[in-house]
Structure 1
Amino acid sequence: MRHRGETVSRRALAREVWKIGSRVTPLDNVIEVHVARLRRKIDVAGAPPLIHTVRGVGYLVSDREP
């Protein structure tokens, strides 16, 4: 994973995934919906979450390994 341990902005995610970075506004919830779906698929019960929200900035993917 390229940006593990780094906070990535919503705009950067939109630009990389959908090539729509310049059209994403704070009111768009496209990113939030997809992140929520990813969390449901990859999070393991009892384990720390893999994707963290950094309020006002974006998202952070952490390592599950100690």
Structure 2
Amino acid sequence: MILTFLLAVPLAAGILSSAVRRRAVMEAANLAAFALTFLLALAVASKVLRAGAISLWDGFLYADSLSALVI
């Protein structure tokens, strides 16, 4: 489930930024998305270190130790 959120957060920020054209709102959405993505990346890395590779949707989304490092 973390992998889904890791993909959904930047998508939601992009949709919000395209819907609202004010610069301050775009910057706030970008900063919030970056912070949340960073926290989710730390959670993925922690989960991979504890339990090994994680996958979702029968392996369609997959994160092993190298993927967690790159994220």
Shared fold, TM over 0.5:
no
Higher radius of gyration, 1 or 2: 2
TM-score of the two chains, using structure 2 as the length reference: 0.36
Provide TM-score, normalisation by structure 1. 0.37
User: Of the two structures, which has the highest relative contact order with CA contacts closer than 8 Å and spacing of 6 or more?
Assistant: 1
More strand by share: 1
Q: Larger % of helix: which?
A: 2
